[in-house]
Amino acid sequence: MYTQSFNVPDAPGGKTVPLTQPIEDPARQAAFDARIDADGRIEPQDWMPDAYRRTLVRQISQHAHSEIVGMLPEGNWISRAPSLKRKAILIAKVQDEGGHGLYLYSAAETLGTSRDQMLEGLHSGRAKYSSIFNYPTLTWADVGVIGWLVDGAAIMNQVPLCRCSYGPYARAMVRVCKEESFHQRQGYEALLVMMGGTEEQKAMVQDAVNRWWWKCLAMFGPPDADSPNSVQGMRWGIKRVSNDELRQKFVDATVPQAKVLGVTLPDPDLKWNEARQHYDYGQIDWAEFWETVNGNGPCNKERLATRVKAHNDGQWVRDAALAHARKQQERRMKEAA
């Protein structure tokens, strides 16, 4: 499961615009604010400010899209998994991602958007998904690294979302987080096995780590100073921990894991800072990040085309299932009459 810890506008351009929120109903707004301040939860039928609703629809649907698109790079490796065991594990993981997408679409639907609307947004290229999936998975080691680092970064992001102020989103995230730790552990374990192998296999793991490390750091979203909407997200209890704070936690957690694994992380500036009691790390290439978010990454077109094709190829199945259900119902009505 994968979310970018930021909320990119779905409109082309992808620059963050501040959320303006005219007060629609002062009394209800006050009741809403009071509930948020008391760390209460908002449920679908409750009144909520329009901007809160729109922000959630965008964030939850982007999150759902990320799950669904995230199935593609890993799905590509199912037929090439090195053993039956690894194949069974990978199938289970990809199936989980599909399930996570579904939990999230359902959560977004409680806000008044339809599944079809969300899918249309994804398929037309208007809606965003996590930029991490717009990079290719070149070797089997990439599959392990995705589990260890990409899912690891996602878990960092998602654990605080279990306390999100919107009930259905928080409940979906609880379910997701329970399943997610298998994803990270299976990836790390697959890499451990490779690191016990030949020099070639070890080099393969190191190469995959080198290619994914910086992209994983970017997954947490722009630095806090460049995330104007984070403040509003925090105010609403949608976001609980800032991008930079989550990124730091991820770096601090990952360095010792890399050591055990026997790989280096490709950052000459990465070193322990005794004063801060954290690891310092180098500059992230945000220009590349925004290029990818805005559709110009190495696999954006390929991923979207694959997704659209799968959806179109499945249209007759969805139509047939509906037609069958209608016929069955008509038959029952006739029998009853």
Partner 1 sequence: MSTALKEWPLWEVFVRSKQGLEHKHCGSLHAADAAQALDMARDVYTRRQEGVSIWVVESKAITASNPDDKGELFDPAADKIYRHPTFYEIPEEVGHM
Residues 210-269 binding partner 1 (CB under 8 A) are none
H or E element, residue 33: helix 26-37
Applying CB under 8 A, the span of 32-40, 245-253, 256-264, 321-329 interacting with partner 1 comes to: 321-329
> For the chain, how many residues are written?
337
Among 29, 106, 232, 294, binds partner 1 (CB under 8 A): 106
Angle between helices 50-75 and 228-235 (to 10 degrees): 110
Residues 113-172 binding partner 1 (CB under 8 A) are 114-116, 171-172
Please tell me the distance from the alpha carbon of residue 93 to that of residue 27, in angstroms, as a whole number: 46
User: Is residue 17 involved in binding partner 1 (CB under 8 A)?
Assistant: no
Residue 273, by phi and psi: left (phi above 0), alpha (psi -120 to 50) or beta?
beta
H or E element, residue 279: strand 278-280
Please tell me the distance from the alpha carbon of residue 115 to that of residue 102, in angstroms, as a whole number: 10
Nearer CB in complex with partner 1: 95/264: 95
Q: Do 264 and 257 contact (CB within 8 A), yes or no? A: no
**Within 13 Å of residue 240, how many CA atoms lie on the same side as its CB?**
14
Q: Which two tokens stand for residue 153?
A: 């970064």
264: closest CA among 180, 320, 201, 203?
A: 203
Least spacing, CB of residue 322 vs partner 1, in Å: 5
Angle between helices 151-158 and 167-195 (to 10 degrees): 150
User: Is residue 335 involved in binding partner 1 (CB under 8 A)?
Assistant: no
User: Is residue 330 involved in binding partner 1 (CB under 8 A)?
Assistant: no
User: Is residue 92 involved in binding partner 1 (CB under 8 A)?
Assistant: yes
Applying CB under 8 A, the span of 43-51, 155-163, 195-203, 257-265 interacting with partner 1 comes to: 43-51
Least spacing, CB of residue 215 vs partner 1, in Å: 29
Applying CB under 8 A, the span of 10-18, 94-102, 198-206, 266-274 interacting with partner 1 comes to: 94-102
User: Is residue 321 involved in binding partner 1 (CB under 8 A)?
Assistant: yes
Q: Do 289 and 4 contact (CB within 8 A), yes or no? A: no
- Binding track over 291-320 against partner 1, x by CB under 8 A: ---------------------------xx-
Please tell me the distance from the alpha carbon of residue 46 to that of residue 200, in angstroms, as a whole number: 58
Nearer CB in complex with partner 1: 114/296: 114
Q: Do 214 and 284 contact (CB within 8 A), yes or no? A: yes
Applying CB under 8 A, the span of 39-47, 150-158, 247-255, 300-308 interacting with partner 1 comes to: 39-47
- Binding track over 171-190 against partner 1, x by CB under 8 A: xx--x---x-----------
Residues 69-88 binding partner 1 (CB under 8 A) are none
- Which residues in this chain contact partner 1 in the complex, by CB under 8 A? 43, 45-47, 92, 95-96, 99, 102-103, 106, 109, 114-116, 171-172, 175, 179, 318-319, 321-322, 324-325, 328-329
